[in-house]
Amino acid sequence: MAETSWPFDKGDGQRVDPARWQSLIAPGATSGVIGRWGDSALSVSVSSSQPGAIDVAPGKAFVRGFVYQTDQIVTLALSTQTEPNPRVDLVVVELDIPNSKAALRILKGQPASAPVAPGVRQIDGGIWQYPLAQVTVRRGQTAVESIRDVRTLADSGRPPAVANTNIPTNPTPGDLAYYKSQDTGAEELHMYAASGGWSIAASLGRAISYTPQLNWSGGSYSAKGQYQWLSSNSMFVSLNVRNTSGKTWRTGALNISLPTKSRGGMWQVLTCALMNNDHADGNGGMPNYVIGSAYTYGGSTCQPVFQTTGPSMNGGDWWDTFPVDSTLIVTGVYVADYFREGNA
């Protein structure tokens, strides 16, 4: 292949057709809706003016080197639905380079008991479809059941903001994306790696609260916990569980739930302690303060082991006594099962 270069004001460099333009601009620019988190640009909703249709809000998108813009609401009709199963349609901005245009379009999905959205075509120099929303169409009628926002919001070179659980398409290793859960408000920075794909690079902002659960209860207890992702597969957790039942529990080994599953195939250890200095019920036959470790071997719980009193050679044993008004503390970092590696 002969050497070539562009753009210039003379020679072959003067020819900057759509294909050349795309090859120049697209590699350095993320496709996405122009806006910030919370913007309504090109958001999809049930049509307010036409039954069996959706409305796309005004907005602008940058799609593989080209701009699409609408300054008014665009209404798109859904394909007729008569099937006994629902389907999921995909609303896209379709860039059509051979025909020199870009427009909104609905890609019709296949009805199924557990329907999935259709795939997109993404070919440089040809058709490139950028997704905006997944629309679930009810069974047996042309009506919207639900809409899932899958826009990527891009603004001034910042990491793109992705809606709910959507991730940017066609990523390359090292790509970053800002994510905020619409359900919990959790903020995270996601990164794409050649090994593992998209994962959480770090939690952002405040720690996320959760309520730890015991596998057995001899009465009421209060519990609170917080966690943060430290890296792609590392989770920090800190939790307190207090016996508020008015009596000491004595049972088999107690387990406590973690905020997310730990990786299987290997033992992991967190630090734990029992604060037992309220002097109720004679301390339940346990010291004021007991130190230990909480073990996990895959699964969604950890199991505390406390050092016995006396010589260190006496070792420890599983936590099976929970004195009234005492508080169990667990803190530490563990390897999560984010990549679903199981016991590998």
The token duo for 8 is 């210039």
Q: Is the pLDDT of residue 214 over 80?
A: yes
Q: For residue 85, how many C-alpha atoms fall within 13 Å in the half-sphere facing its CB?
A: 10
Instruction: Specify the pLDDT at position 285.
Output: 72
pTM of the predicted protein model: 0.63
Kindly state the percentage of the chain with pLDDT values over 70: 91
C-alpha distances in Å from residue 241, one per residue of 65, 99, 258, 290: 54, 64, 12, 15
Lowest mean pLDDT, pick from 76-80, 226-230, 236-240, 302-306? 302-306
Residue 157 has pLDDT above 70, yes or no: no
> Where would I find the H helices in the chain?
18-25
| pLDDT of residue 156 exceeding 70 | no
In DSSP terms, 192 is beta-bridged to 198
> Is 65 in contact with 21 (CB distance < 8 Å)?
yes
User: Average per-residue pLDDT in the chain?
Assistant: 87
Residue 218, by phi and psi: left (phi above 0), alpha (psi -120 to 50) or beta? alpha
The larger pLDDT score, comparing residue 229 to residue 154, is at: 229
pLDDT-based confidence at residue 341 (cuts at 50, 70, 90): confident
Structure-model confidence comparison of residues 263 and 13, the more confident one: 263
Q: What is the pLDDT of residue 309?
A: 57
Choose between 164 and 172: higher pLDDT.
172
3-state secondary structure of 307: strand
Burial class, 148, CB count within 10 angstroms (exposed 0-12 / middle 13-18 / buried 19+): middle
pLDDT at 168 over 70: no
